[in-house]
């Protein structure tokens, strides 16, 4: 093949041959590179050919960007079906390196173009290197023992749900200043907020009363003041560490990033219909939207909101969280309040359904082809009353009928001990087994909660204690795949036997969030703070890491089974973007 042939030459000669081959008109060249719009080689004086460099093209005066990653010989290729004619700005992502000079390239729809040798220079200034670090890099750079970091990450990972930890590291707050920041941020609605879109839903609480996972907020404030630039420091007094770049299969992906038109926004969840259209819920505003990736066209529609008006001084929470598309392409939406809602794309109309709850979990159980029900959970007594009753209800999407509820637990409104392993006090992500019986992840009980069809609920604990199961999806073999957020594992439970299998993910603190199987049985996993999408091969236990061209925080992973190649979509919550990742089967 052309690339293997070129790899036998040294770097300057290979760059020359790339240019010569591209400019020649021979028939052999036309056959080998006719589907390639742009190629090149990434090098540096320190490494020579560089593997794992994300090469990014953004059309001049455009918002959509496309990226590929250089392989083991430093070579990269943009295929013509993912890169239209036009002028593009060129950038790279490779922590510790930057382009020697600004580059642009003009692409037409007939020729194969070459960037030749794309030369990078090492970054030696810590203040410039800092802007390239991910939140995971910052956690690994911060001083402290593993035990200290385990407790710290449990608390501080929530900061990364709105912005990178770089913001903390670059700040100059002392401990008292951080206390005020923590008090203020505690008033924000996390899932419906980002660094640019804030919703204030509670009043500040005394710092002494803020305790998260066994650690006082005041103690966290003291620690953060030791790792930032407070006290007049000009740079950090600890070395900055960067994660390894992608290798092997991790370089085999084309990534396209679509910013949604309504900005600033928060995009928590999405789904794909039978035609490949991407439906998303705008978690910062009462809207849903649709992207047609074939044309890049966006559409949006206002959503209902059934929350009561809040007390004076607070904001009424707006925005959609979970969104599911059924086999008829009806869009089911977790609108705010105590109702279900569905949207018909054909008539562009809403239908709402009453649920016997006062407060509804903002997630929906998935709706698969051949299944006619989804699950919802909610509070069935006033949240300010002495006892909270949590029920799960199965909703028939064809008739609109709500089945008899399953009692999940009785509890006080807000449990004071978040680590009550073995006791169900919170259902998070919902799904159902092959027989339609309810299941959910129970993070604080570190278990999977399951019903038996008779209204009885049991807990199946994770093998790793305090693993904090997050979100996942059932495969065709009746296995529910889920992430273990605090344990850095991806796991599955055999819903026929209750047997749980765990697969460790390295490095520590990569914080996996959502797990989703594809049609080949590989498991795709989003992570928080690493900007890497993960893929697990269940037969070998091998995990491939794909570095995204943008900072991302994704709470969901969707696989588009209508596509001709493995296609994964991520909702980039804090940036208001939709991210498509495509790999060969």
**pLDDT of the residue at 383:** 61
φ, ψ dihedrals at 75, nearest 5°: -85, 150
Q: Are residues 573 and 543 in the same domain?
A: yes
pLDDT at 457 over 80: yes
Q: How many domains in the chain?
A: 3
Average pLDDT score, the chain? 90
Determine the Cα–Cα distance for residues 263 and 372; give it in Å rounded to an integer.
35
Position 167 confidence tier, pLDDT thresholds 50, 70, 90? very high
Q: Are residues 222 and 154 in the same domain?
A: yes
Q: Are residues 413 and 542 in the same domain?
A: yes
Question: CATH number, domain at 21?
Answer: 2.60.40.10
**pLDDT of the residue at 196:** 93
Determine the Cα–Cα distance for residues 419 and 415; give it in Å rounded to an integer.
10
Determine the Cα–Cα distance for residues 507 and 195; give it in Å rounded to an integer.
26
Position 359 confidence tier, pLDDT thresholds 50, 70, 90? confident
Helix axes 146-156, 217-227, angle to 10 degrees: 110
Encoded tokens for 235: 């740079």
Residue 448 lies in a domain: yes
Q: Which residue do the tokens 């194969």 mark?
A: 112
Residue 210 lies in a domain: yes
Q: Are residues 196 and 271 in the same domain?
A: no
Q: Are residues 209 and 324 in the same domain?
A: no
Rounded mean pLDDT, 286-306: 97
Residue 237 lies in a domain: no
Residue 242 lies in a domain: no
Position 404 confidence tier, pLDDT thresholds 50, 70, 90? confident
Domain that holds residue 301: 248-583
Q: Are residues 120 and 134 in the same domain?
A: no
Q: Which residue has the higher pLDDT, 75 or 211?
A: 75
Residue 238 lies in a domain: no
Count other C-beta atoms under 10 Å from residue 128's C-beta. Answer: 10
Residue 240 lies in a domain: no
Rounded mean pLDDT, 231-241: 95
Encoded tokens for 59: 């059309």
Domain end call among 180, 207, 232: 232
pLDDT at 3 over 90: no
Sign of torsion over alpha carbons 228, 234, 236, 237: negative
Q: Are residues 133 and 31 in the same domain?
A: no
Residue from 46, 70, 43 nearest 123 by CA: 46
Q: Are residues 104 and 27 in the same domain?
A: yes
Rounded mean pLDDT, 293-316: 94
Q: Are residues 400 and 323 in the same domain?
A: yes
Domain end call among 124, 151, 171: 124
**pLDDT of the residue at 27:** 36
Q: Which residue has the higher pLDDT, 493 or 26?
A: 493
Position 24 confidence tier, pLDDT thresholds 50, 70, 90? very low
Determine the Cα–Cα distance for residues 534 and 218; give it in Å rounded to an integer.
35
**pLDDT of the residue at 127:** 95
Q: Are residues 113 and 217 in the same domain?
A: no
pLDDT at 535 over 50: yes
**pLDDT of the residue at 409:** 80
**pLDDT of the residue at 440:** 96
Rounded mean pLDDT, 386-404: 86
Encoded tokens for 521: 């049985």
Rounded mean pLDDT, 46-66: 97
Domain end call among 103, 124, 145: 124
pLDDT digits (tens, 9 = 90+) for 309-358: 998 889 999 999 999 999 999 999 999 999 989 999 999 999 999 988 88
- Helix (H) / strand (E) containing 33: helix 27-33
Asked whether 300 and 288 are in contact (CB, 8 A), the reply is yes
Q: How many CA atoms lie within 13 A of 424 on its CB side?
A: 26
Question: CATH number, domain at 289?
Answer: 2.130.10.10
Residue from 92, 47, 35, 98 nearest 69 by CA: 92
DSSP labels for 488-499? TEEEEEETTT--
Q: Are residues 87 and 136 in the same domain?
A: no
Count other C-beta atoms under 10 Å from residue 584's C-beta. Answer: 9
Determine the Cα–Cα distance for residues 154 and 342; give it in Å rounded to an integer.
36
Q: Are residues 290 and 315 in the same domain?
A: yes
């Amino acid at each position: 093949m052309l690339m293997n042939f070129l790899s036998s030459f040294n770097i300057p000669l290979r760059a020359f041959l790339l240019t010569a081959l591209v400019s020649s008109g021979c028939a052999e060249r036309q056959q080998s590179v006719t589907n390639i719009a742009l190629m090149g080689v990434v090098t540096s004086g320190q490494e020579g050919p560089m593997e794992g460099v994300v090469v990014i093209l953004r059309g001049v005066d455009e918002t959509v960007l496309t990226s590929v990653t250089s392989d083991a010989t430093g070579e990269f290729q943009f295929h013509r079906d993912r890169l239209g004619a036009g002028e593009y700005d060129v950038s790279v992502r490779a922590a510790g390196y930057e382009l020697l000079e600004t580059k642009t390239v003009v692409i037409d729809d007939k020729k194969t173009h070459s960037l030749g040798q794309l030369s990078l220079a090492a970054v030696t200034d810590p203040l410039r290197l800092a802007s390239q670090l991910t939140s995971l890099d910052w956690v690994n750079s911060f001083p402290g023992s593993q035990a200290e970091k385990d407790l710290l990450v449990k608390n501080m990972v929530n900061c990364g749900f709105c912005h990178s930890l770089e913001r903390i590291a670059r700040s100059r707050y002392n401990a008292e200043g951080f206390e005020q920041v923590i008090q203020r941020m505690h008033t924000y609605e996390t899932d419906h907020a980002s660094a640019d879109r804030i919703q204030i839903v509670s009043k500040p609480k005394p710092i002494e009363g803020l305790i998260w996972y066994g650690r006082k907020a005041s103690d966290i404030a003291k620690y953060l003041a030791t790792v930032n630039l407070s006290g007049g420091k000009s740079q950090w007094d600890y070395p900055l560490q960067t994660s390894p770049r992608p290798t092997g299969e991790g370089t085999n992906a084309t990534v396209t990033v679509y910013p949604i038109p309504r900005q600033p926004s928060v995009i928590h969840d999405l789904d794909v219909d039978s035609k490949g259209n991407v439906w998303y819920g705008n978690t910062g505003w009462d809207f849903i939207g649709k992207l047609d990736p074939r044309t890049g066209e966006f559409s949006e529609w206002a959503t209902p909101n059934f929350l009561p008006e809040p007390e004076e001084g607070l904001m009424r929470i707006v925005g959609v969280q979970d969104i599911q598309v059924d086999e008829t392409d009806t869009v089911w939406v977790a609108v705010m309040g105590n109702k279900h809602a569905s949207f018909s794309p054909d008539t562009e109309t809403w239908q709402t359904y009453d649920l016997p709850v006062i407060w509804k979990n903002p997630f929906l159980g998935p709706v698969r082809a051949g299944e006619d029900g989804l699950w919802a959970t909610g509070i069935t007594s006033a949240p300010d009353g002495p006892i909270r009753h949590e029920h799960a209800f199965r909703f028939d999407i064809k008739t609109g009928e709500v089945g008899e509820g399953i009692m999940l637990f009785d509890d006080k409104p807000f449990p004071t001990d978040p680590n009550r392993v073995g006791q169900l006090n919170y259902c998070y992500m919902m799904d159902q087994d092959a027989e339609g019986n309810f299941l959910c992840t129970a993070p604080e009980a570190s278990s999977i909660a399951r019903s038996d069809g008779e209204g009885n609920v049991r807990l199946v604990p994770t093998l790793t204690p305090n693993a904090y199961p997050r979100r996942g999806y059932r495969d065709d073999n009746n296995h529910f795949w889920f992430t273990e957020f605090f344990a850095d594992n991806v796991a599955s439970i055999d819903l026929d036997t209750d047997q749980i299998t765990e697969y460790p993910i390295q490095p520590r603190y990569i914080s996996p969030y959502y797990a989703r199987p594809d049609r080949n049985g590989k498991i795709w996993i989003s992570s928080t703070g690493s900007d890497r999408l993960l893929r697990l091969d269940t037969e070998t236990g091998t995990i491939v890491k794909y570095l995204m061209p943008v900072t991302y925080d994704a709470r969901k992973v969707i696989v588009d089974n209508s596509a001709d190649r493995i296609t994964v979509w991520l909702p980039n919550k804090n940036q208001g973007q939709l991210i498509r990742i495509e790999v060969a089967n």
